[in-house]
Amino acid sequence: MALSLRDLLLQNEFWVLVFVLGWISLNWPMLTLAANATIMGVPAILVYICAIWLMIILALFIFDLVGD
């Protein structure tokens, strides 16, 4: 049985996983690790949050490609 993105989005376990991953990666102690750091002139906190969003978007894109 192949899982599609539509079927996955209806599962409660998926939403719990997304919440837990978001809570772990975007919680306050993780965000304060890069409080005063910069990466090529850009605040490290901005780079970290953009990297997390990029990973989430790429994971959903790859899952959609595999599902089709």
Q: What is the pLDDT along the chain (68 residues), one digit of tens a residue?
A: 455 666 666 677 777 877 888 888 888 887 787 778 888 998 888 888 889 889 888 877 777 776 55
**Cβ-Cβ contacts under 8 Å for 63 (sequence gap 6 or more):** 5, 8
**What is the pLDDT, as a whole number, of residue 56?**
80
- List the domain boundaries for the chain: 10-67
Pairing of strands 42-43, 38-39: antiparallel
